[in-house]
Structure formats: structure tokens, C-alpha cells
Amino acid sequence: MRIGELSARTGVPAATIKYYVREGLLSGGERRGHNQVEYGEEHVRRLRLVRAMVEVGSVPIAKVREVLTEIEDPRRDLDSTLGVASRALSQHKVPAEEPAAVDVETAKAIVRGRGWNAVPLEHGYVWTLADAIGRLRELGLGDMVDMTGEYARAAEIVAEFDLALLQMRSDRDEILEAMVVGTVLGDAIFEALRRIAQVEVSSRVYPPAQRESVQDEEDSSTGE
């Protein structure tokens, strides 16, 4: 197909497609004579993958390229790619400073308390967890730390489904793509569901008279 059709099928403007090709996010089409370039189904698919990262995950172009490079590197094994992509797509930074020992201990206790014995306790995300716990403590919100056990239970439900999805695929490229999409769209879906659930749960907590104003507020912002 020509670039016009590729643009129509993916909703990505032709100028943006050319920009993605220049930036190395998309291979160029096949040249078929003067001023005629042919694109295929693989371009449609790749563009949708790039769009999911850029539009839904707000992933910067440089990060998108990094993730795609990882995906396409045939020397990498599947599970190390999982780690690299998951970190590249993370919305939250790994803390710059070492968290306080007391918070690292709490984080480790949460991980082991959940029966997660295969996870190395030096894992970068254990630090991220410890850092967030330390900030709660500093803000005098230490009681929020108690909730992380429930968060861990919910996280396990989500992770089991993340992995089940990968297992449903056998082709390497399919698995990697599902991983990236699952991380970006899975985060967006979970965030949306959490906010929706908050509205639901708060309707049980707050009296109906007050609830009206929340609904008005939410309604008026639809399509913001």
C-alpha cells in the first residue's frame, strides 16, 4: 500500500510516519520506482505498537526506540528482554539515592511475606518499593504501609494474567509484542479500573447527597 493508505489505516499522519522512519522506529517501505514506496501489513502493525506506546503510555520517542531495539535483537533471550522492556516502560524512576535500611527491610518483608521467594531481594523494584515506603513514613502516613500487603495480593493477580498471556503465544516476536503492549496498555487499563473502582467504593463510603456532586464533576469532564 502507499503511504496514504497506511496513514488512513493507522490514523497516523503521513508526516509522522516519515518522522518515525527517520527516527528508526519503523523500517522504510519498499521503493518501487520514482516517488513510489510500498508498505505492508508489518508496517500497519508496527505503527499501532508505536502509537500504543506514544499515545497511551506517553513513552518518549527515544524510549520507544530503545524498547524496539531490544525486541528486535535476536541475541537477547526472552526473559532478559522482559526485564529490559519492563524497566524502559516504567513510569516511575528507580530512586537515585539508596533508601533507608529500615524501609528496605519493610519492603523485603512485604515481598517475602507474600511468599515471593524466587525474587532476588536486590531487585531494583524492591528499592523503588522501599523508597515509596520511606516517603510515606516521612509524611507521617506510616499506616498506609500496612495496605501494601493488599496491594501485593492485587499485583499477583495482575502478574499471573500478564504471564498467562505470554504463554498463550509461541512465536518469539508475538511474545515480545504482547509483552510491550501488555505493559503499556495493561498499566492504562489498571489505572482506569482503579479510578472507576474508587468511584464505586466511595459511593459506599460517602452519603448519596454528596455523591451527586462527584458524578456531576466526572460527567462534565468526559472527553476532556
Of 16-24, 31-39, 61-69, 152-160, the segment contacting a copy of itself by CB under 8 A is: 152-160
Within the chain, where are the H helices? 3-10, 14-22, 41-51, 61-72, 78-88, 101-113, 124-138, 148-167, 172-205, 208-220
Three-class SS state of 38 = strand
The three cell numbers of residue 43 are 508496517
Residue 200 interacts with a copy of itself (CB under 8 A)?
yes
Binding to a copy of itself, residues 98-137 (CB under 8 A): 98, 110-111, 114, 116-120, 122-129, 131-133, 135-136
**Residue length, the chain?**
224
Minimal distance, residue 32 CB to a copy of itself, in Å: 27
Residue 6 interacts with a copy of itself (CB under 8 A)?
no
Residue 205 interacts with a copy of itself (CB under 8 A)?
yes
Q: Which is nearer to a copy of itself, 34 or 92 (CB)?
A: 92
The three cell numbers of residue 149 are 500487603
Residue 202 interacts with a copy of itself (CB under 8 A)?
yes
Non-local (6+) Cβ contacts of 44 within 8 A are: 6, 9, 10
Q: Which is nearer to a copy of itself, 36 or 80 (CB)?
A: 80
Contacting a copy of itself (CB under 8 A), which of 82, 104, 175, 176?
A: 82
Phi-psi region of 58 (alpha: psi -120 to 50; beta: other; left: phi over 0): left
Contacting a copy of itself (CB under 8 A), which of 1, 21, 61, 84?
A: 84
Residue 30 is inside which H or E element, if any? strand 30-31
Contacting a copy of itself (CB under 8 A), which of 1, 56, 61, 100?
A: 56
Minimal distance, residue 165 CB to a copy of itself, in Å: 6
Q: Which is nearer to a copy of itself, 30 or 191 (CB)?
A: 191
94, 121, 95, 123: which is closest to 108 by C-alpha?
A: 121
The greatest distance separating any two alpha carbons of the chain, rounded to the nearest whole angstrom, comes to 70
Q: Which is nearer to a copy of itself, 37 or 135 (CB)?
A: 135
Residue 36 interacts with a copy of itself (CB under 8 A)?
no
